[in-house]
């Protein structure tokens, strides 16, 4: 058959819109003309099945729908069922105005939302502007990498952060052969040559370690080298064995996270991770701390009420999270109180008990956050914390 140049299709529809109550009719013959080089014409006879005859007893009911008039040839009306101002339902050939307005607003809001999501996605997970090789070259040659010099010295166990800054100010630290007097100078121990008091700082940095210590009475939470009763002295055996277990790696400089006064026993965290210690001890962490206070004399309801109402410490009114009188142990005559606080003020629990008119005989911390002091951990002993323990600490 020759190439089809044009196609003319004529279909005569009903003069009324297609409605459920309108019966089917037999359409006239459909003619399809295909002009070709031979001027031949093809005709197709198309007919539809006649409608099912209705019983004679059932009279034909008129259509309940209004007459929209004669529809133009080839146009199909879709009636809309709307509720008029009088509250009655009616049919109309065009959608209501409020529907068209809602559709327009919906399309606009959807487009705006998708555009906003696309923009946010582009800012957060956009493709890198430069190649991986270009970024690596920049990081290795131009980027200001490394850590602050004072932080590197403290992490290497030279001294505390404050004492390391004093060594830098005194001109006792050199970086790549030059005296450095700025603690904020960024250095890389693996690349830079650092000397402190004539001794070369090792290239390797000690790994981060975390311990839970059952602090005994009479020890202070200080990392001073001249403190014989410091809790850090309880780790002497661990530090002496460090060189054998980690050859070539400097010893970690340990310090406590927060403090317990000299007369208080129980849980204290010891680490060499300054960022972790800052995050754990900062007031924004809002970690609760549980204490067991053994008091002299009897405890009555008025004492518990006074403790729960709180007291003023350093100009701040501190209120405990909870106060509970524990059952008295058979072999002990003194009463015990379970007190939970989160402010972390100096001597907070002692001041709360004192303001209630009671005297503390002994005080022990048994929990920080979600980590509780193990029952089998002896006084003066420590255990290394696992990732699950660190997560419980927050």
Which residues are annotated as catalytic? 261
CB atoms within 10 A of CB 121: 10
Closest C-alpha among 212, 154, 134, 150 to residue 186: 150
CB atoms within 10 A of CB 339: 21
H/E/C letters for each residue in the chain? CCCCCCCEECCCCCCCCCCCCCCCCCCCCCEEECCCCCCCCCECCCCCCCCCCCCCCCCCCCCCCCCCCCCCCCCCCCCEEEECCCCCEEEECCCCHHHHHHHHHHHHHHHHHHHHHHHHHHHHCCCCCCCHHHHHHHHHHCCCCCEEHHHHHHHCCCCCHHHHHHHHHCCCEEECCEECCCCCCEECCCCCCEEECCEECCCCCCCCCEEEEEECCCCECCCCCCCCCEHHHHHHHHHHCHHHHCCCCCCCCCEEECCCCCCCEEEEEEECCHHHHHHHHCHHHCCCEEEEEEEECCCCHHHHHHHHHCEEECCEEECCCEEEEECCCCCCCCEEEEEEECCCCCCHHHHHHHHCCCEEEEEEEEEECCEECCCCCCCCCEEECCHHHHHHHC
8 A C-beta contact, residue 303 and residue 358: yes
Q: Tell me whether residue 62 is exposed, middle or buried, using C-beta atoms within 10 angstroms of its C-beta: 0 to 12, 13 to 18, 19 or more.
A: exposed
Closest C-alpha among 89, 86, 97, 83 to residue 65: 89
């Amino acid at each position: 058959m020759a190439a089809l140049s044009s196609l003319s299709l004529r279909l005569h529809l009903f003069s009324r819109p297609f409605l459920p109550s309108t019966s089917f009719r037999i359409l006239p013959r459909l003619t399809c003309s295909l002009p070709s080089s031979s001027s031949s014409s093809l005709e197709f006879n198309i007919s539809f099945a006649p409608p099912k005859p209705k019983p004679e007893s059932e009279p034909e009911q008129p259509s309940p729908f209004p007459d929209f008039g004669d529809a133009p040839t080839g146009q199909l009306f879709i009636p809309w069922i709307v509720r008029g101002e009088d509250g009655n339902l009616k049919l109309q050939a065009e959608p209501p105005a409020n529907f068209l307005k809602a559709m327009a607003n919906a399309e606009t809001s959807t487009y705006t939302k998708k555009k906003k999501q696309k923009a946010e996605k582009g800012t957060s997970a956009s493709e890198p502007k430069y190649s991986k090789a270009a970024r690596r070259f920049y990081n290795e040659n131009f980027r200001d990498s490394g850590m602050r010099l004072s932080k590197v010295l403290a992490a290497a166990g030279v001294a505390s952060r404050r004492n390391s800054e004093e060594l830098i100010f005194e001109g006792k630290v050199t970086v790549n052969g030059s005296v450095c007097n700025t603690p904020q100078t960024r250095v890389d121990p693996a690349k830079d040559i650092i000397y402190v008091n004539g001794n070369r700082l090792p290239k390797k940095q000690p790994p981060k370690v975390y311990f839970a210590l059952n602090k005994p009475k009479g020890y202070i939470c200080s990392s001073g080298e001249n403190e014989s009763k410091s809790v850090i002295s309880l780790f002497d055996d661990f530090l002496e064995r460090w060189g054998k277990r980690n050859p070539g790696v400097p010893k970690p400089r340990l310090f406590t996270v927060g403090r317990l006064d000299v007369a208080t026993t129980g849980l204290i965290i010891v680490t060499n991770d300054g960022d972790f210690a800052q995050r754990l001890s900062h007031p924004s962490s809002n970690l609760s701390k549980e204490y067991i206070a053994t008091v002299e004399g009897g405890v009555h309801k008025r004492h518990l009420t006074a403790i729960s109402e709180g007291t003023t410490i350093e100009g701040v009114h501190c209120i405990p999270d909870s106060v509970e009188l524990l059952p008295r142990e058979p072999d002990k005559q003194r009463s015990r109180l379970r007190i939970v606080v989160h402010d972390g003020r100096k001597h907070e629990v002692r001041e709360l008990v004192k303001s209630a008119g009671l005297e503390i005989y002994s005080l022990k911390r048994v929990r920080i956050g979600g980590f509780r002091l193990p029952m089998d951990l002896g006084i003066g002993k420590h255990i290394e914390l696992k990732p699950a323990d660190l997560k419980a600490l927050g």
